[in-house]
Every structure is written in structure tokens, then in C-alpha cells.
Amino acid sequence: MAKMTPRTLSGFMELLPAPQQQMERMMDILRTTYSRYGFTPLDTPVIESSEVLLAKGGGETEKQIYRFSKGDADLSLRFDLTVPLAKYVALHYNDLAFPFRRYQIGKVYRGERAQRGRFREFYQADIDVIGDGKLDITNEAEIPAIIYQTFSALGLKRFQIRVNNRKILNGFYAMQELAEKSGDIMRTVDKLDKIGPQKVRDLLISEIALSETQADEILKFIAITGSNCEVLNALQGYAGKNEVFDTGLSELNTVVKYLAAFGIPEENFAVDLTIARGLDYYTGTVYETTLLDYPEIGSVCSGGRYDNLAEYYTDRQLPGVGISIGLTRLFYVLGEQGLLNPSLPTAPADVLILPMTEDLAPAIALATQLRQNGIRTQLYTEQKKFKAKMSYADKLAIPYVVFLGEDEINAGVVACKDMVSGEQTKFGFDETLQRIRVGLAEKNAGCVILEK
């Protein structure tokens, strides 16, 4: 028979078993951390009706969308988790209690140009808090705590949550009578890291037609840096001139004020006036998170406050605040940078049992007993040479191999080999179990991410 060469589409991540186990650990940590903050898990369809999904109009992403027909239906694959959330909240409004706090970890699809490290199918891991009409500023203050806990739980230390407030930016531009150009200005300022202040100034003058004075005012403003306290003090100098600015400054003060109570160390947080989050969507606090030793990766967790989640579906005002982690890309870059802890177990089983008797009943009973005690156990029953069996355990990095022969069965003991230390013991079931448990706890004690 002619064979079809198996392949996986480019831009689609398909992991081998060991890295998949690392990915599963990361997802577990995200689920646990998000749950800890009172977010409920949601799952929405990957496919939506195109007219519903694209109600807002796709803009730049529209070309990237996987859109197709099935029968009479015009369908699209979701390209983020925010539009499906907007649809969900508008559709199920009467069945939800607000503030509605949900997390969702799911695959989204964008037909981007294939490129190393760019994915067409990738996981996003989102949390959002949605209010009905109003949403208190404390929710915006809590988000950095969640980001901090999430990355700390993954094992990172050298990261920084950078925060700004769009009202401060909008208010400032209004003071300069540049409100109408604020979108263009923010998009230009966003390039600061890449092209430097002088080129930003040039662009502001040449492309956005600002006067030299206006451009200098803007550069002076975004040059405000220092400790959180210093930045807030400098901003205080602009207060009293514009209501929106003052509201933004008050909100930013609140966010910073509760940092300590939320347990966020000062070094993991910075007020950064250059952050705007391109989208017009955000209206208050905005967040970016960068890895201090890998600035080239860009933000690994971004989001912000928005005033109107679902305006394309409902007249209700549904303000919210949320963040998103691009999980597939994060996992990829962590791997590329060698930051995934290689010493955490990735084996499919904790124990491999090698039966040494014709009758398998005692080995099966032992496997059942280990499983009932929470030990992931594989029974190896293929007809192979002993060496092949041991090399199977080696290849899969299974930490313990148990031998069960007539001698052990008659003596009521279990022969157990620690595949790392090489130590082999013969104890009764309870003691063997206890030793395996202690060993596994040690092996699992590390974090997913191991900074260099």
C-alpha cells in the first residue's frame, strides 16, 4: 500500500511526551492560581458563527481568521478568548452573578505567516472580571497580585509587572490639546523601546504633525521614571488641570497603595508611563509583564481595564479588567532559552513493575495496590529480555522499577530500584510505598521554570 508521509502543519505545536508533561504542569499551575483568586473555569466553542464572532469587524486580524462554510453556515475559528467571553456574558447575562470572574485556557487560531516561534494554533490563558454597570478599582489593583502569584508559582523571580493608566495618558494629551491625536501619538510612543526617544520625537513631528514644543512635552512626560513613589510624585505636578488625568492618577495611586497588602515586592512592579497597549479597547489601568533577562521576548502577560466588553451584542454597560498569557509562545520561548527545569519528572509512571513469574496475578495485585495509593504505576508484561525492560524504564525516565519474583512473593517483600541513585531495597509494601512517596515528593519539589 502506498503510504502517506505523516506530518504536522507548520505553526501547530505538537510536543513529545516529556515536554508535554512540562506543559501540563504549567497549565495545572495556571488553573490552580486562577482558581485561588475565585475565578471560575469556562469552556466555549472553538467554532462560532462568523457574523457573531466578527460583529466588531476584524480589523488587522480579519485576514488571519480561519473562516469557512459548512452547509449554509458561515463559520470561523475563535482568534482570541475575549470575543467569545463578550458573547457568553451577553448571551447568558440573566444566569450570571456580577462581578463575574472567569478564567479560560483554550486554543485560539490565527493564520499568521509561518515563522519560527509564531503559532497558528496556540493556547491563551485568560482571566477577566466583568462588572454590571460598574466595577470597583480594587479589581484593577488585584490583577498585579494575580500576575505576581502566577509567575512566582511557575518559578520565576526576575520579572517585572509594568503598569500604567490610559486615563493619565488621555488626560495628559487633552492638556496638550492633542486629544484627537492621542491614538496616533500612543502608537508612536509605543516604539520607544525599539527606536529610542530621538526617533520618536522625529516621528511625532514629521508624521503626526506636532510642534517641537508639543513633542518635547511628550518626551519629557514619558521620560518620568524612578521608584513608584517618584513617578507618582512627578505625576502629581500635572494634577488639577484635567479631570480625566486626575481620575487616572487617583486610580494609579490606589493600585500602587495596595501592592504591599497584596504581597507584591516592589522590585516586581513598576509604574511605566510608556505603556499604552496599542488597542483603543483599554480605558484605565493597563499591564505588561516582562522577563528582566529576556527583554527581547516582549510582554508575556498583558491586559487592562475596559469599559464596554460586549457593546456589539448588548446595550448593557459591562466594564471589566483582564489579562492574557500567550501560553504556547511562553512555553516555546522558555524552552528556547533553556529555562524549563530538566530535573522535574516527565515520566508517564512513577513505578514500572517487572513481573518475574509466569502467573501475573501477584504483580497485578501489587500494581492495583500502588495505584490505590496514588502511585502512577505501569505493569510491564511484554516478552523481552531483562536488559530491554530496564532500558525501557531508562528511556522513559521512570524513577522506580519494582521486581516481583517467587522469592519476593514468598517473603512478602517488594524489590525496588531507585533508577537515579541505583539503590535497590527489599522491604514490605508499606515501607516501600513510604520510601517511594518521599522520593517522589523530593523529585517533584522544584519549579517548572529554573532561572539561570
Residue 230: its H or E element: helix 228-236
Cis peptide bond upstream of 99, omega within 30:
yes
Helix (H, G, I), strand (E, B) or coil at 163: strand
User: Residue 125 or residue 135: which is nearer to a second copy going by CB?
Assistant: 135
How far apart are alpha carbons 33 and 43 in whole angstroms?
Answer: 17
- Where does residue 19 rank: exposed (0-12), middle (13-18), buried (19+ CB within 10 A)? middle
CB of 21 to a second copy, least distance (A): 7
CB of 267 to a second copy, least distance (A): 18
The three three-digit cell numbers of residue 33, written as one number: 492560581
**Length in residues, the chain:** 452
CB of 17 to a second copy, least distance (A): 4
CB of 266 to a second copy, least distance (A): 16
User: Residue 214 or residue 268: which is nearer to a second copy going by CB?
Assistant: 268
Pairing of strands 302-306, 351-355: unpaired
CB of 84 to a second copy, least distance (A): 9
User: Residue 148 or residue 221: which is nearer to a second copy going by CB?
Assistant: 148
C-alpha pair distances (Å), 146 with each of 35, 41, 139: 10, 16, 11
- Quick one: which of 123, 128, 138, 146 has its CA closest to 33? 146
CB of 189 to a second copy, least distance (A): 30
User: Residue 187 or residue 316: which is nearer to a second copy going by CB?
Assistant: 316
Q: DSSP character for 288?
A: E
CB of 16 to a second copy, least distance (A): 5
Structural contact between residues 103 and 82, judged by C-beta atoms closer than 8 angstroms = no
How far apart are alpha carbons 363 and 414 in whole angstroms?
Answer: 10
